[in-house]
């Protein structure tokens, strides 16, 4: 049982959704610290289309005024910023992908033991890596005109006890939302009251945010079409279109019907956050709150429909993804 020290802030404007950018969807997971720039750019473009009113008919001015490679300077046309289109209230949380996992697994940060020099060094190295990715995600969103701010759980004072969230100050997140910004959080290395330190996954962060900020829906953007009954690379893997969560937290597959309702999960050897099994477990807890969760492949027409919130009610037959809902 988690013993959390966290407030339940009230927001000026209701939170439309929380979006999880899976690490494997925005990075090249088998290529150390390499961003999948095409996917990240497409995700940012889709978020702008869905979340900023009028963006489909006019170009939204960018907000990344940093010097980029190949540029001799920075040029800003002030006239473009006389008035900005209003954005829906939403939060982005991203995984680490090929950033952070290597550093954490090599040093054992997720197992704790800060008194060991290799763990302390790995803690620093992990935070450097995930913070680097966070900056690039924020820049990609800002280039598309989304007023994004990077917020690190460690720097915001989040901590764990036995790997469960023990303290999570949401005041900075709430103030950013109320000020019209889009908070961008990420999986992070944090201090743990029992074992010294651990890795706080983006999936756990999303569950905590959903519990306290109550979005209309949550979208997990991944590198595959959704949840399968076995690893999607295996022959005859079946996409699970809808999962129902019961009052006791257990879940079952509604569509398509499976003979034994058995689902086989795996996680990569270097993944210190639990992989798809953790994702479904956290999604089930969110769904139990009455918040629909959609797991869908990033940068596709199916992700646009999920991000738009158009999947309430019956799931269309032509939509590829997984909806996780409370059975009531």
Phi first, then psi, for residue 132 (nearest 5°) are -65, -45
The label of the residue with tokens 């999570």 reads 168
Q: Are 115 and 171 contacting, i.e. CB atoms less than 8 angstroms apart?
A: no
The answer to whether 101 is a known ligand-binding residue is yes
Classified as helix, coil or strand, 124 is helix
Beta strand 242-245 with 251-255 is: antiparallel
Sign of the alpha-carbon torsion through 133, 287, 163, 101: negative
The answer to whether 97 is a known ligand-binding residue is yes
Beta strand 217-222 with 292-297 is: parallel
Q: For 297-308, b where at least 16 C-beta lie within 10 A, e where not — what string?
A: bbbbebbbbbbe
Phi first, then psi, for residue 174 (nearest 5°) are -65, -40
The answer to whether 96 is a known ligand-binding residue is yes
Please give the full DSSP string across 104-122, using - where no structure is assigned. Answer: HHHHTGGG--TTSHHHHHH
The answer to whether 223 is a known ligand-binding residue is yes
The answer to whether 122 is a known ligand-binding residue is no
The answer to whether 299 is a known ligand-binding residue is no
Q: Are 212 and 46 contacting, i.e. CB atoms less than 8 angstroms apart?
A: no
208 contact partners, CB below 8 Å, separation of at least 6 = 4, 6, 165, 168
Residue 2: count other Cβ atoms within 10 Å of its Cβ. 12
The answer to whether 275 is a known ligand-binding residue is yes
Largest CA distance in the chain: 62
Phi first, then psi, for residue 87 (nearest 5°) are -100, 145
Which residues are annotated as part of the binding site?
Answer: 96-97, 101, 202, 223, 275, 279
Which residues are annotated as part of the binding site for ATP?
Answer: 97, 223, 275, 279
Which residues are annotated as part of the binding site for substrate?
Answer: 96, 101, 202
């Amino acid at each position: 049982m988690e013993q959390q020290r966290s407030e339940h802030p009230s927001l000026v404007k209701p939170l439309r959704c929380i979006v999880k950018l899976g690490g494997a969807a925005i990075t090249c997971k088998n290529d150390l610290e390499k961003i999948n720039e095409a996917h990240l750019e497409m995700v940012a473009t889709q978020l702008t289309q869905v979340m900023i009113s009028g963006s489909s008919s006019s170009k939204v001015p960018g907000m990344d005024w940093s010097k980029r490679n190949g540029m001799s300077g920075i040029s800003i046309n002030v006239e473009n910023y006389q008035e900005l289109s209003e954005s829906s209230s939403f939060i982005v949380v991203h995984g680490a992908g090929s950033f952070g996992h290597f550093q954490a697994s090599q040093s054992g940060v997720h197992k704790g033991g800060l008194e060991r020099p290799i763990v302390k060094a790995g803690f620093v190295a992990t935070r450097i890596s995930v913070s680097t990715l966070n900056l690039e995600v924020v820049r990609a969103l800002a280039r598309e005109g989304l007023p994004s701010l990077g917020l690190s759980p460690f720097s915001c004072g989040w901590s764990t006890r036995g790997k469960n969230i023990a303290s999570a100050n949401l005041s900075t997140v709430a103030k950013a939302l109320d000020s019209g910004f889009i908070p961008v959080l990420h999986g992070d290395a944090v201090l743990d009251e029992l074992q010294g330190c651990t890795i706080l996954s983006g999936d756990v962060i999303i569950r905590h945010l959903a519990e306290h900020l109550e979005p209309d829906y949550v979208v997990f953007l991944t590198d595959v079409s959704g949840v399968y009954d076995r690893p999607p690379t295996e022959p005859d893997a079946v996409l699970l279109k809808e999962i129902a969560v019961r009052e006791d937290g257990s879940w079952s597959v509604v569509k398509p019907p499976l003979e034994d309702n058995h689902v086989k999960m795996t996680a990569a050897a270097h993944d210190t956050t639990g992989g798809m099994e953790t994702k479904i477990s956290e999604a089930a807890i969110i769904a139990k709150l009455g918040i629909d969760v959609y797991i869908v492949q990033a940068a596709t027409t199916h992700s646009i429909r999920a991000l738009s919130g158009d999947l309430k009610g019956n799931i269309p037959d032509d939509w590829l993804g997984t909806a996780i809902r409370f059975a009531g």
